[in-house]
Structure 1
Amino acid sequence: MLRRHLLLAAAVLPAHAAFAHHGWSSFDTARPLYLSGRARKVAWRNPHAEFDLEVDADLKLPADLAKRPVPAQSAGIDGARLFASAQLPTRKDRLWHVELAPLTRMGAWNVTELRDGDAVAMVGYTFAGEKGEPVLRVEYLLVGTATYGLRSSPA
């Protein structure tokens, strides 16, 4: 009987874990979004760093976002295009879950570990049609004057 319960538990756990984490293919990469605010509940761990973002009450696109310098290795690929086409989300959630890169890539970029309350901005993607939970997969993390391209490693 105990063995049967253990087998049942083993069969259910992976399904639950897969449901809780989603693949990157579900994100709408045709519509980059801009968010800014304060980091909350920062979890600097694998499989990727993540936190909740308390969105600025007066969220607006920075007038100079399209002119913000991008890292050299992404300048010719998509950095400038993403900044120029970034828009605000249509949904009005005040709290978003933010997914960054794996810790090895965060370390390669020398990104200082974020702390609860840090001011951050980002450009990234959410689910098509902004459906489901408010989740943003970050492509570019903006901390102060630094810009980190999280999809690749530094050149």
Structure 2
Amino acid sequence: MKRVNAYKKLFNVDQDTDLKKLKSTYRNLVKEWHPDKFQSDDEKFAEAEIKSREIIDAYHFLVSVAPETIEANLEEYTSTTTQSGIADYKHKGLLLEISFTNGTTYEYFGVPRNVFNKFINSDKQYRFAKRSIFNSYLYRKSKKDAIAA
């Protein structure tokens, strides 16, 4: 959740920002921090390169967790979570990454350690995840899945 909040703070947007506003904010930030603006000052140029990469990463991330994106991919997500079993999972901090047997991977944000412990200690992990994780936490399709495809 830190990542989500940091990116939203960078873009100065709230929870329910639509893609149109996000895109216009992104374009304005890219114009402001484009490295070509700082060609004469090497120090500012290096800072602008880093900042522009951060802006691009934040934009792609925020688009992937935007309500419109989630709604557009809901059918695929529902199909994956109802018809595919869990192949593998990883938990780091508050991020739970679940790989499904159909090859897709989803990241769930804000999953606390106690919920993860209940998940791994459950005798029916898929059932627990279906009831307590899949529709309870902010999620996005992982880049690992896009790279593998």
Asked if Structure 1 and Structure 2 have the same fold, meaning a TM-score greater than 0.5 normalized by the shorter chain, the answer is no
Name the TM tier (shorter chain): 0.3 to 0.5
TM-score between the two structures when normalised by the length of structure 2? 0.41
